[in-house]
Homo-oligomer: A and B are copies of this chain.
Amino acid sequence: MVTDSFIGRIQASKTQGDGDKTLATYETPLVTVDIVILTVEGGKLKVLLIQRKQPPYQHMWAIPGGFIRTGETLEDAAERQLYEETNVKNIYLEQLYSFGAPERDPRARVITVAYYALISADRLSIQANANAEDVRWFDTAELPELAFDHRHIVHLAWQRLKEQLKDSNISFQLLPEKFTLTELQRVYELILQKKLDKRNFRKKILSLGIVIETDETKMEGYHRPAQLYAFKERQKKVFMYEL
């Protein structure tokens, strides 16, 4: 993790442009981009964490992140780190919130712009081996102790995901291209932490016209196979009730 490199405080003293303001001391903060990478796998909503090698918070788990490079937008930086960790491109990525509590990093003033990313489990095969030893997926509902304010950040990402689930088709970012309606329902149930009625759920999804039936089916176990669906558009705004 890039933030592991220790950076001393840089103090800058400046006069201000406006006459009626007093001379003041500004800290030049460091800016990082941290990413909450979420996926659904094995019936759990999981988040990618990295084990820290250096202090502070040595050996604790943290979300991936790092500094912004010259010429990079914030989103570029997030995309780059996302790629470094997952080896996958074109991942759904969205800015979450910026955190700047003065003591959130004991070494220096570090402001982080948090992003969150959603990736479907079927795109993760490549990653698993890379620096596998200190990178792992954790059940978002059972997090270990996290470094810095990362627990808060992960929870905020989950919160945001819940909200977005209710008024967009964002859930499709977490599923393979073809999926059964039961699989889709499981994603909703996992994120919302709540059982949904199968008939109402299917009625709603189908009436929204956001999925299209494929001619394939999926067998799983010794029972009736399920119809596979694909989705029509990304980012369509919809409304889900039955919160």
Using a CB–CB cutoff of 8 Å, the interface residues on chain A facing chain B are 1-5, 7, 10, 12, 14-18, 20-21, 24-31, 53-54, 66-74, 84, 95, 97-102, 109, 111, 113, 131
Given contacts A17-B2, A18-B1, contact A10 B27 (CB under 8 A): no
Docked Cα-Cα span, A1 to B17, in Å, equals 6
28 contacts between A and B (CB under 8 A): A2-B16, A2-B17, A2-B18, A2-B21, A3-B17, A4-B16, A5-B14, A5-B17, A7-B14, A10-B12, A10-B28, A16-B66, A17-B54, A18-B131, A25-B69, A26-B67, A26-B68, A28-B30, A29-B31, A29-B68, A31-B100, A70-B102, A72-B102, A73-B100, A73-B101, A74-B99, A98-B98, A100-B113
Q: B73 to A24, Cβ gap below 8 A?
A: no
Q: A125 CB to closest chain B CB, in angstroms? A: 20
How many copies the complex holds: the figure is: 2
Q: Which residues in B have their C-beta under 8 angstroms from that of A17?
A: 1-5, 53-54
Q: Which residues in B have their C-beta under 8 angstroms from that of A14?
A: 5, 7, 67
